[in-house]
Structure 1
Amino acid sequence: MSSLSKSPPISGASGTEAGRNGRPPTIDDVAALAGVGRATVSRALNDQAHVSDRMRDRVMRAVEALDYRVNPQARNLASRASNTLTLINCNARDAPPNSYYFAAIELGALRAAAAAGFELSTFNIHIEDDNRDDRLIELFASGRSTGLILSPPLSADVELARRLIAQGCPVVCISPSEEVRALLPGVGFDEAAAGYEIAHHVVAAGHRRFGYMLGIEGHLAAETRFAGFLRALAEAGLDEGAVTALRGDFSFRSGVELAEALLAGPDRPTAIVCANDDMAVGAMFAAHRMHLAMPGDLSVVGFDDAPVAAYIWPPLTTIHQPIRRIAARAVERLVETLLRGQGTGTPGFDAIDHHLVLRESVAPPRG
């Protein structure tokens, strides 16, 4: 006799009473009774591959025992033209990609999609593209994509969010703006707190003159970090005049160019804070080329905790942004939306923990 047949009967055998508090049974109830994961239940109900006959039988007997009614949208996933989730990456047309950030998002999303029985595709779009919103809507309307995952800066676009809602397109946003959080489900971390922690660290080390490398225009997540940075400076009695902020594009090249500009003057900063690690490594390259000792002559801080941060010299102090976990949770929320038939999705923000990684690129300024 199987372990399922030995399971105790569920109180109230009817479908309307099988769940707790009188709610209809859910896919989670089926998974619990069958002793399998929800992804296995989804594959069995959608008649997908990689489910053994034994597991399929366990799931179907749990469905029968609970009188579970499969959500029509979940049932239809198997018969759609696509069972593909699409990760949307957006950057400036002439900018090199933020290589680690996009790679980590894609890896986290890919693993979570595979675990849930979905395929993942990526769709790259330029922020300057006048037809970008139409192209994203067409992805869903054509059946090529079951749902979208928006990364910054698109995850801060309120008008795009409203258009996707009007289309009934399931969407989850990575690092959305406050306005978009009120409209769509999102996942991220406390960007402002991270910027605040960086500023607190460099101020505590004794720095009073700062360079700051911003990201691309319209990247609200990076701008929010800068706002947190300025808030910490204000609390330390320093105004915005203590910071020279220049805009880059998240690339190594822009880090080199901006560092050269910041360090060329007589009143150069003693610390440079960068919107990502690629620019920070570029800043360190420029400083080495100018024969500046780090961290004695110049301290540098990055953001992301890319693998290179631990291997550059000196090793880079940075914020560990949990990119893979954020992307994985975004996929999980999107799958939950699809299986529950919630249309676009229920607004709500999942915050994932970050932390400051202290290495050797920050020290008190000389003199």
Structure 2
Amino acid sequence: MTLLSKPSPIPGVRGTDAARNGRPPTIDDVAALAGVGRATVSRALNDQAHVSDKMRDKVMRAVEALDYRVNPQARNLASRASNTLTLINCNALDAPPNSYYFAAIELGALRAAAAAGFELSTFNIHVEDLRRDDRLIELFESGRSTGLILSPPLSADLALAHRLIARGCPVVCISPSDEVRALLPSVGFDEEAAGYAIAQHVVAAGHRRFGYMLGIEGHLAAEHRFAGFLRALAEVGLDARAVTALRGDFSFRSGVELAEALLAGPERPSAIVCANDDMAVGAMFAAHRMSLAMPGDLSVVGFDDAPVAAYIWPPLTTIHQPIRRIAARAVERLIEVLLRGQGAGIAGFDTIDHHLVLRESVAPPRC
């Protein structure tokens, strides 16, 4: 960037002391050098009406002389999008949405945004989209959003985090990877501890042979739950051979399909642990269809504490993931970043408490 202690004379443009102190030039410096008002500079830069060709030319020559760069965050805050926060949801192309998770996260974010006088929009993107990162950057730089909230699996994408930081895009992440957590403000809970608590419970009930339904590839939060599950098994002398793990997509349909595969295998598990409640309900549906009694023939555990967990038969033991509170806190963190003008935001992780909800879907195995 070229900084001028005494700007070269520009015909029709008076001098200014802009950039003498080593700071980047501002819109006020441009206005001073061009000899116009701040509002005129803004209208000229945004190609709005009511600016003559002569005045626009003066502004653009001042911009060039100062090597002025438009700050996208400042532009957004001054525009119609200044009160618009965007929640980014991402899922596999062919996968049905994780219905309760997305609904709860949107509701929590919407309530927090409304309470603070902000608007909330949602932006759905496919995890396989080759231009997904560019689309998010365009969303911010176009002025349609003043800040983003990333949910998994995007919140685990280190390369995306670096690109958003470089663009000065305000971002808060929900359940990020450890690497992203070190770079950006984020909110979540201890996923590994939650998986550990589930394993402790089913092991204490006497189970030693398990089926485990993983989430979509790259969903690191769900992978951390599985790591906690394995850690608890190791503490009682059980290794990964005690678990048959199959990968699903968080949908009811995949829960049905995976349960059928697990229960038809040569070493049928006495307990199935699922990465979310939708898959757990699918597993229970498959077990009912196979005339298995629950929890006598099969115990099932879920994750999320979706409303259906309390009404399915038998009522589902699950982890209460505080989704709405996590989303609300993410919005609060993003607003703090915006009000303090912190660019992409200062790293720091807010932990929200979770707990195991004991219902009737777990019992000692019959054999």
Establish whether TM, by shorter chain, passes 0.5: yes
Q: Superposed, which structure 2 residues align to 1:263-302 within 5 Å?
A: 263-302=263-302
How far is the alpha carbon of 1:73 from its aligned partner?
10
Contact residue 73 and residue 146 of structure 2 kept, 8 A:
no
1:252 corresponds to which letter in structure 2? Answer: F
Q: Paired residue for 1:120?
A: 120
Alpha-carbon distance between aligned partners in 1 of 2:210 and 2:127, rounded to the nearest angstrom: 29
Q: Paired residue for 2:225?
A: 225
How far is the alpha carbon of 1:79 from its aligned partner?
2.5
The answer on 1:256 being equivalent to 2:235 is no
Contact residue 174 and residue 327 of structure 1 kept, 8 A:
yes
Alpha-carbon distance between aligned partners in 2 of 1:242 and 1:332, rounded to the nearest angstrom: 42
Contact residue 90 and residue 151 of structure 2 kept, 8 A:
yes
Gaps of 5+ in 2: 1-70
The answer on 1:347 being equivalent to 2:358 is no
Alpha-carbon distance between aligned partners in 1 of 2:268 and 2:84, rounded to the nearest angstrom: 50
Q: Paired residue for 2:80?
A: 81
Q: Paired residue for 1:325?
A: 325
Contact residue 76 and residue 143 of structure 2 kept, 8 A:
no
DSSP-derived class of the 1:359 partner: coil
Contact residue 109 and residue 120 of structure 1 kept, 8 A:
yes
How far is the alpha carbon of 1:220 from its aligned partner?
0.3
DSSP-derived class of the 1:346 partner: coil
Q: Superposed, which structure 2 residues align to 1:133-282 within 5 Å?
A: 133-282=133-282
Alpha-carbon distance between aligned partners in 2 of 1:167 and 1:76, rounded to the nearest angstrom: 13
1:211 corresponds to which letter in structure 2? Answer: G
Alpha-carbon distance between aligned partners in 1 of 2:329 and 2:75, rounded to the nearest angstrom: 23
Change beyond 3 A, Cα 1:78–1:133: closer
1:233-287 Cα deviation digits (max 9, x unpaired)? 0001001000000000000000000000000023200000000000000000000
* TM-score of the aligned structures, taking structure 2 as reference length: 0.79
Contact residue 76 and residue 145 of structure 2 kept, 8 A:
no
Contact residue 73 and residue 339 of structure 1 kept, 8 A:
no
1:96 corresponds to which letter in structure 2? Answer: P
Alpha-carbon distance between aligned partners in 2 of 1:73 and 1:285, rounded to the nearest angstrom: 50
DSSP-derived class of the 1:172 partner: strand
How far is the alpha carbon of 1:80 from its aligned partner?
1.6
Alpha-carbon distance between aligned partners in 2 of 1:78 and 1:94, rounded to the nearest angstrom: 36
Alpha-carbon distance between aligned partners in 2 of 1:208 and 1:254, rounded to the nearest angstrom: 24
How far is the alpha carbon of 1:75 from its aligned partner?
8.6
DSSP-derived class of the 1:328 partner: helix
C-alpha root-mean-square deviation of aligned residues, in Å?
1.4
* TM-score of the aligned structures, taking structure 1 as reference length: 0.79
1:281-311 Cα deviation digits (max 9, x unpaired)? 0000000000000000000000000000000
2:175 corresponds to which letter in structure 1? Answer: S
Q: Paired residue for 2:54?
A: none
Alpha-carbon distance between aligned partners in 1 of 2:135 and 2:299, rounded to the nearest angstrom: 43
Contact residue 173 and residue 187 of structure 1 kept, 8 A:
yes
Contact residue 256 and residue 286 of structure 2 kept, 8 A:
yes
Alpha-carbon distance between aligned partners in 1 of 2:269 and 2:330, rounded to the nearest angstrom: 38
DSSP-derived class of the 1:165 partner: helix
How far is the alpha carbon of 1:101 from its aligned partner?
0.1
Alpha-carbon distance between aligned partners in 1 of 2:73 and 2:181, rounded to the nearest angstrom: 25
Q: Paired residue for 2:31?
A: none
Q: Paired residue for 1:356?
A: 356
Alpha-carbon distance between aligned partners in 2 of 1:306 and 1:238, rounded to the nearest angstrom: 30
How far is the alpha carbon of 1:74 from its aligned partner?
9.7
Alpha-carbon distance between aligned partners in 1 of 2:90 and 2:226, rounded to the nearest angstrom: 21
Moved more, 79-88 or 109-118: 79-88
Gaps of 5+ in 1: 1-71
2:198 corresponds to which letter in structure 1? Answer: I
DSSP-derived class of the 1:319 partner: strand
Alpha-carbon distance between aligned partners in 2 of 1:139 and 1:74, rounded to the nearest angstrom: 12
Change beyond 3 A, Cα 1:328–1:77: same
How far is the alpha carbon of 1:77 from its aligned partner?
6.2
DSSP-derived class of the 1:342 partner: coil
Contact residue 74 and residue 339 of structure 1 kept, 8 A:
no
How far is the alpha carbon of 1:81 from its aligned partner?
3.3
Moved more, 291-300 or 257-266: 257-266
1:83-126 Cα deviation digits (max 9, x unpaired)? 21000000000000000000000000000001111100000000
1:158 corresponds to which letter in structure 2? Answer: L
Rg larger in structure: 2
Count of aligned pairs: 296
Q: Paired residue for 1:90?
A: 90
DSSP-derived class of the 1:148 partner: strand
Structure 1 runs of 4+ with >2 Å offset: 72-79
DSSP-derived class of the 1:120 partner: strand
2:113 corresponds to which letter in structure 1? Answer: A
Q: What is the identity percentage for the equivalent residue pairs of Structure 1 and Structure 2?
A: 87
